[in-house]
Structure 1
Amino acid sequence: MRYWLFKSEPDKWSWEMQKAKGDAGEEWDGIRNYQARNNMREMKIGDRGFFYHSNIGKEVVGIVEVCREIHPDSTTDDPRWECVDVKAVRDMPKPVTLAAVKAEPRLSEMSLVTSMRLSVQPVTAEEWAIVCEMGGLDPE
C-alpha cells in the first residue's frame, strides 16, 4: 500500500461532502497539473490518503482510500486529464495543521512542506505514521 495527500478547498469540496458520498466515493476530478495527475496514475485500489483542507483551515481532517484506479476525468473532454475515485475512511480525531507539520522536524522533507502548491502528493510510510500519531490515530 502507498500513501498520498489530497488537497481540497473546503468551500468547494469539504471533508463532510466527501463523507456524504459513502462507500461509492467520488472522483478526485479537476486536477490540471501533470505531476498531480501522474501521482494519481501510480495509485492502486486500497491506497490510503490524507484529506487536507487547503486555503481554509490548512489541516489534515480525514483519511480516504482509493476505490477506483485512474480513468478519464468526467469534467473534461481533454484526454490528458485523468483521475481516481476516493472514499472517506475515517475522521482525523485531532486535525493536523500545516503549522504543526512544519514544526515537526521529522516532516521537513514532506511534500506538504516542500511542494505546498501540489494538489495530489505522495506521502512516505514514515510521514504517514508521524501525521497519524499527531492526529491521534494508529497508523495501521
Structure 2
Amino acid sequence: MNLWLFKQEPDDFSYAELEAAGKTLWDGVANPLALKYLRQIAKGDKVYFYHTGKEKAVVGEMLVSAGPIKDPNSDDEKLVVVEVVPSKRLKNPVSLLQIKADSSFSDWELVRIPRLSVMPVTLKQWNRIQELSKQIL
C-alpha cells in the first residue's frame, strides 16, 4: 500500500461532495509528473484530500477503490483516472501554513512544487498530518 495526496479546488469538487457521492473517478489530471504518479497508484492505496484555493488544507482521507484506467471521458490515451471513496474526514483540517512551518515537510512536493495535483506521501509525513489534525489551533 502506498500513500498519496490529491489536490482539488473545493468550488469544483469538495470532500463533502465526495462523501455525498460515495465515490468518484479522479480525473482532470494533465501534468506529466502528476500523471506519472497517478499511473503508480493501486487499489487499496490511501490518499489525503487537499482543498486548494482559499482553504489550502488537508481535509480528509480517501481509499483507492479501482484504477488506474484510461480516462473514459477523454480521447487522449495518456490521461488516466482512479476511483476513490471517502474514508474519513480529519478531525481538524491541516493547513498549508502548518505544513510549511513543520520541518518534517521541507522536502515534500506539496511545499516545493505547489502546482502539482497528485504526489506521494511518506509514512512519516502521513503520520505527522494525523498528529497535526488532532491539534486545536
Q: TM-score surpassing 0.5?
A: yes
Q: Bigger shift: 6-15 or 65-74?
A: 65-74
Deviations along 1:66-100, one digit per CA (max 9) or x if unpaired, are 11011111231111101111110000101000000
Check if 1:5 corresponds to 2:5: yes
Letter in 2 for 1:20: A
* 1:114-125 correspondence runs (5 A): 114-125=112-123
Q: Which runs of 5+ in 1 are unaligned?
A: none
**Cα distance between partner residues in 2 of 1:56 and 1:15:** 15
Residue 124 of structure 1 deviates from its aligned partner by: 0.6
Give the conservation status (yes or no) of the 8 Å contact 1:29–1:74. no
Residues 9-24 of structure 1: pairs in structure 2 closer than 5 A? 9-22=9-22
Specify every segment of 5 or more residues in structure 2 that has no aligned partner in the other structure, as ranges. none
Shift of 1:110: 1.4
Moved over 4 A (4+): none
Which of 92, 95, 117 is matched with 1:94 structurally? Answer: 92
Q: TM-score, normalised by structure 2?
A: 0.94
Match of 2:49 in 1: 51
What is the identity percentage for the equivalent residue pairs of Structure 1 and Structure 2? Answer: 36
Give the distance between the partners of 1:69 and 1:100, measured in 2 at CA: 32
Question: How high is the TM-score relative to the length of structure 1?
Answer: 0.92
Equivalent position of 2:27 in the other structure: 29
The count of corresponding residues between Structure 1 and Structure 2 is: 135
Task: Report the Cα distance in structure 2 between the residues aligned to 1:7 and 1:119, rounded to whole angstroms.
Answer: 5
SS at match of 2:42: coil
The answer as to whether partners of 1:10 and 1:56 remain within 8 angstroms in 2 is no
